[in-house]
Structure 1
Amino acid sequence: MLKFLVYDNGKPAERWRLRNAYLIGADGSAMRGEVRYEDGHVICEKREAGSCALALQYPVKGLGEMTIQTCLLPERVEPYLLTLELARHRLMTLYTKLEDWGMFELDSEHVVTKRTEKSRQLFVEALSQQGEDPAEADRMAHECLAASLDGSEELALAHSELLLNRRKNSANGPRCPLGCGVDLAQTQDLLRAGLLANFDFVQMPMPWRALAPEEDNYRWQVMDNWMQWASRARLPVVAGPLISFDPANLPDWLYIWEHDYDTVRDLVYEHVERVVKRYKDHVSAWIVVSGLHVNTHMSFNFDQLMDLTRMTTLQVKKLAPSGKSIIELRQPFGEYYSGNPRSIPPQMYSDLLVQSGINFDGLGVRLAMGQAVSGQYTRDLMQISDLFDQYAGFGKPVHLTLAAPSEPVTSMMIAQPEASEPADDNAGHWRRPWSPLVQSHWLEAVLQIAVSKPFVEAVAWQDIIDHPRIDLPLSGLVSESLQPKGSFKRLVAFRQNLSQQHAAAAAVQPDPVGAATPDTEAEAAASKSADAPDDRGEHI
């Protein structure tokens, strides 16, 4: 058992909200256990042997309220000081990344250098005060945490800027296409014109629930309309997920068979066959399955989950060999595993996909934050950069889907989108409470980090427009009244700058004869837009 002493305003905390708290094992995956707050202490009871770290949502003055963690710690009778251990891990992360990225030679006036030195001094002082004056040690540790967290975010941005500039100046600069998701019910001409003018591809959902609300009764009209429009506009389509066991995607009639795996498998096979055969000539890439590893809503075991993944991927490859197959991960930080013994940690699932020889073309990572539900609590930029880096070793291109809200999301808003209530910040926030300005800055920062990674093949924003069925309320780039938010304008500007920089680099250093050409329609569209000025403008 681990205990952490919590202070509030210089005194042991009498009340303290514990949110998104879970344990992390030595392998970096969530660990089974219980975390509770009791009598001024956070108490962690493990169900597994070995050292562990505590992750939880924690407010850091001036930087937001985000899920951060301690280092791996052994059990002991004396309680740890929570703030000091959070600061220790963040300072360690800062030094580790400086070494890994070879950035120790930053100028002495660089903000990262200043934050690093300040953090080190504050941590030493906090350690010296820990035994004599815990309240003072807590205050210094909090200042250390703020400085090191700020420094680590600045380091993540500086590193991404360095990589991006190197790629821009090379002959094979970044051709990462930028796309956006749509709501099938939103078919306004103005919205479609904006998609065509400002994005390289459209990410089209295929909810089984909407396609077949009744068994053996498919309704194709809405999907046909979108596919025909995209074909006429020559806009590449990334479609899916074909299979997701999230309640928003799964038809009600399928729950009759939720404990009968063989029947569900047959129904999945038939559904995938119908959809892929119908749209294989319109789709450039398929998100075949999404979030099966989370396994929250079905009672399938490990072998059955892997069998479903293998079967559906092989089926799509057979029916649409020219389209790419993507397996998508949800809740990529993996906190769900601490409370669900039937689930698979995201890194383990990815490794199993590669090691088992499943024939797929890319990993999808859906990163949404700003909502108080599992997998969507707020994280900082260094954690996001490190998350992306974890997928470099699997040897598969990565397709990212991003989302963050433009206003704080309330619990009532999730259940009843049309209702209103005071803002609830249980999901945390980045720098400032979520607003159109914060959303736009977060989008720009995460896009820069993502596109700087050479293994990231494409990036999509989850929804272009706010709508009642949206997975993360208020996360669209355009309001329901079709007014563009600041995030839309920043994304368009980022894409245009990326295209212009690539065109300039290609003009100075032309591609060598025999160089590889883009092998997907999405990449070809990105290359075409990069080789010529984008004069289509913002249509929304």
Structure 2
Amino acid sequence: MRFVADDPNLLSEERLARAYVSGMDESPTFGRTLRSGDQVVVERVEDSSGCFHIPWPIAGAGDWLLGTSSLVERERPYRLEVELARGLLFRVRDQLAGWEQLGLRLSDPVRDGVREATRLFSRAATTQATDPSAASRLANEAIARAADTACLLADLYAEQALDIRMAGGKKLTTLLGVRLGPKAPRGPTAKRIAETFNLAAVSCGWGLCEPIEGTREWEPVDKPLDWARSAGLRVCAGPLLEFDERLMPDWSYLWEGDLETLTSLMLGHVRAAVQRYRGRVQLWHVASKINRERVLSLTDEQRLNVTAAAVRAVRQLDPNTPVVVGVDQPWGEYRAKRPAELSPLDYADALERADLGVAGFDLQLDIGYRPDGSELRNPLALSRLVDLWNLRLESPLMLSLAFPASAEEDPQADPRLSVVAAGDKPDLLTPERQAEWASRRLPMLLAKNAVQVALWSELTDHGAHRLPNAGLWDARKQERPIVGKLNELRKRLLA
């Protein structure tokens, strides 16, 4: 596929490195995107049609990952702005039609937005041959209007779906949680957490609990877990196994390549944790990032087998407490940069078919980060993702969420991760923007029956943490506006 754009500055190497082609299911296919003169060229092994996705600036919102509609390969280049407008407008209209069939009542702003975006796109599509620059300008205007309309449509769906679910004054039984650090919260922070959330996730990973082979340290688990129980919060313990090269014990790499020993060591940690904490937790998070490669040289099949054995071990020792398993990058962005046979859904489907008793799956949604996070997208893409997983698996979902409050350097975060949500306008990311994102996206997700747990992944930016600037409290231990928004959601929506 080939594309030309009116503004070549938007086709930076950094943006092209994040671009890919997908099928209609939006699952990426392996390939590369590069500049060749004034054209963007997409090279893939497959020669079938597909949707081209690239981060694109949305006025006032940062970079959204936009996708074209399905395009065939050809020598003549497509005009990128026009095709991105076509793709976004198609997705908005398609989702609108689907929700209308389910009984959604449209508002005038949504109708007007769709009508105006369609008018602008039609003009762009019909002038691209005679006046390419004008077509690109009109297409960008159509993108902006369609993006605004997508947000309004998501808000409208959330409002009406929640009204139905909460008819008669009922409140949702959904759990709203936060991941705690290795120390128990204290003072006003502890009080604020207890009144905002009804679930605490307590890390219990192998690397955290067994930093020295044969010596287990439970204090980083005991303290936050005991505090959560004393505060009346339900407890999710885990992940017990985290398939991340930085979260495995350093000494475990001495056994790299020895599958039998590694499996025995991992299951030893799982059994020790369950025996210690059973009866004190309401949910076991057995394994996370099961679709992450390059960890201890384990193959896809070996990671699945270890995960399945860990689930069986937990179920044997604590048969009454539900277990969940987590995947990273649920849109499968990693498949664009390396040939991978399995999509995130395929991993989950394999465990589901094994009939292990997995109660649900955790989708790790680190929005606006790379390389191991997920791009900021049209909010309707979040809705489609949840619907797709629910349709395929019919299992409850846990969503582990994060969104940055700043694009500034965060020296105490994982240096492998960078913030990309703001594009080339870092001032767009502020604590207020983080709060707005959470307050508008969470109701849409909570409105879905499939979502049983929504968990914020970072408590604070103070001290060592994984995601840059995603904490509910900043590096100076100051509460960010997002806490107030989550508190309001808890009181308004949740039992």
Q: What's the TM-score once normalised by structure 1's chain length?
A: 0.85
C-alpha displacement of 1:241: 0.6
Count of aligned residue pairs for this structure pair: 490
Partner residue in 2 for 1:516: none
SS in 2 for 1:163: helix
Which residue type is aligned with residue 408 of structure 1? A
Partner residue in 2 for 1:466: 461
SS in 2 for 1:111: helix
Partner residue in 2 for 1:404: 403
Which residue type is aligned with residue 102 of structure 1? E
SS in 2 for 1:101: helix
> 1:68-467 alignment to 2 at 5 Å?
68-102=66-100, 110-170=108-168, 173-185=171-183, 187-342=185-340, 344-393=342-391, 394-410=393-409, 414=413, 426-428=420-422, 433-467=428-462
SS in 1 for 2:242: coil
2:88 touches 2:146 (CA, 8 Å); kept in 1? yes
SS in 2 for 1:7: coil
C-alpha displacement of 1:413: 6.3
Question: Once structures 1 and 2 are overlaid, which stretch shifts more, 435-444 or 472-481?
Answer: 472-481
Partner residue in 1 for 2:489: 494
> 1:479-490 alignment to 2 at 5 Å?
479-490=474-485
Cα distance in 2 between the residues matched to 1:28 and 1:274:
40
Partner residue in 1 for 2:2: 3
C-alpha displacement of 1:45: 0.5
Which residue type is aligned with residue 5 of structure 1? V
Cα distance in 2 between the residues matched to 1:109 and 1:214:
60
Cα distance in 1 between the residues matched to 2:25 and 2:273:
39
SS in 2 for 1:391: helix
Cα distance in 2 between the residues matched to 1:435 and 1:101:
32
Cα distance in 2 between the residues matched to 1:446 and 1:291:
23
Partner residue in 2 for 1:507: none
Please point out which of 45, 49, 68 is paired with 1:47: 45
Partner residue in 2 for 1:527: none
Cα distance in 2 between the residues matched to 1:196 and 1:15:
46
Q: Structure 1 residues 333 and 76, CA, compared in 2 at 3 Å: closer, same or farther?
A: same
Cα distance in 1 between the residues matched to 2:73 and 2:11:
24
Which residue type is aligned with residue 16 of structure 1? S
C-alpha displacement of 1:247: 2.9
C-alpha displacement of 1:160: 1.4
Which residue type is aligned with residue 240 of structure 1? G
1:174 touches 1:454 (CA, 8 Å); kept in 2? no
1:377 touches 1:428 (CA, 8 Å); kept in 2? no
Cα distance in 2 between the residues matched to 1:425 and 1:299:
28
Which residue type is aligned with residue 326 of structure 2? E
2:234 touches 2:282 (CA, 8 Å); kept in 1? yes
1:369 touches 1:377 (CA, 8 Å); kept in 2? yes
Cα distance in 2 between the residues matched to 1:113 and 1:56:
27
Question: Once structures 1 and 2 are overlaid, which stretch shifts more, 98-107 or 363-372?
Answer: 98-107
Deviations 1:52-97 (A, max 9, x none): 2211111123342111111221111100111111111111111111
Q: Structure 1 residues 217 and 400, CA, compared in 2 at 3 Å: closer, same or farther?
A: same
Question: Once structures 1 and 2 are overlaid, which stretch shifts more, 280-289 or 180-189?
Answer: 180-189
C-alpha displacement of 1:495: 0.7
C-alpha displacement of 1:356: 2.9
- Gapped runs of 5+ residues in structure 2? none
Cα distance in 2 between the residues matched to 1:476 and 1:67:
23
Alignment RMSD, CA only?
Answer: 2.5
Cα distance in 2 between the residues matched to 1:170 and 1:99:
28
Cα distance in 1 between the residues matched to 2:199 and 2:355:
29
Question: Once structures 1 and 2 are overlaid, which stretch shifts more, 14-23 or 304-313?
Answer: 14-23
Cα distance in 2 between the residues matched to 1:58 and 1:15:
9
Please point out which of 47, 57, 62 is paired with 2:60: 62
Q: Structure 1 residues 127 and 105, CA, compared in 2 at 3 Å: closer, same or farther?
A: farther
Please point out which of 9, 12, 20 is paired with 1:16: 12
Cα distance in 2 between the residues matched to 1:466 and 1:157:
29
C-alpha displacement of 1:108: 8.2
Q: Structure 1 residues 222 and 353, CA, compared in 2 at 3 Å: closer, same or farther?
A: closer
Q: Structure 1 residues 170 and 409, CA, compared in 2 at 3 Å: closer, same or farther?
A: farther
Q: Structure 1 residues 342 and 3, CA, compared in 2 at 3 Å: closer, same or farther?
A: closer
Question: Once structures 1 and 2 are overlaid, which stretch shifts more, 487-496 or 148-157?
Answer: 148-157
1:291 touches 1:330 (CA, 8 Å); kept in 2? yes
Cα distance in 2 between the residues matched to 1:102 and 1:4:
34
Deviations 1:489-537 (A, max 9, x none): 11101111114xxxxxxxxxxxxxxxxxxxxxxxxxxxxxx3xxxxxxx
Deviations 1:4-26 (A, max 9, x none): 11221xxx559634421122124
Cα distance in 2 between the residues matched to 1:109 and 1:145:
20
Deviations 1:234-271 (A, max 9, x none): 32110111111213321111112222222211111111
C-alpha displacement of 1:109: 6.4
Cα distance in 2 between the residues matched to 1:303 and 1:14:
40
Cα distance in 2 between the residues matched to 1:225 and 1:428:
37
Which residue type is aligned with residue 483 of structure 2? F
Cα distance in 1 between the residues matched to 2:239 and 2:438:
23
C-alpha displacement of 1:414: 4.3
C-alpha displacement of 1:467: 2.6
Question: Once structures 1 and 2 are overlaid, which stretch shifts more, 481-490 or 12-21?
Answer: 12-21
Deviations 1:387-411 (A, max 9, x none): 1222222111111111112111438
SS in 2 for 1:367: strand
C-alpha displacement of 1:373: 2.4
Cα distance in 2 between the residues matched to 1:352 and 1:358:
10
Q: Structure 1 residues 410 and 482, CA, compared in 2 at 3 Å: closer, same or farther?
A: closer
Cα distance in 1 between the residues matched to 2:42 and 2:475:
44
Question: Once structures 1 and 2 are overlaid, which stretch shifts more, 52-61 or 365-374?
Answer: 365-374
Cα distance in 2 between the residues matched to 1:228 and 1:54:
49
Cα distance in 1 between the residues matched to 2:462 and 2:410:
17
SS in 1 for 2:325: strand
C-alpha displacement of 1:172: 5.7
1:56 touches 1:69 (CA, 8 Å); kept in 2? yes
Cα distance in 1 between the residues matched to 2:137 and 2:101:
29
Indicate the percent of aligned positions where both proteins have the same amino acid: 28
Cα distance in 2 between the residues matched to 1:260 and 1:29:
33
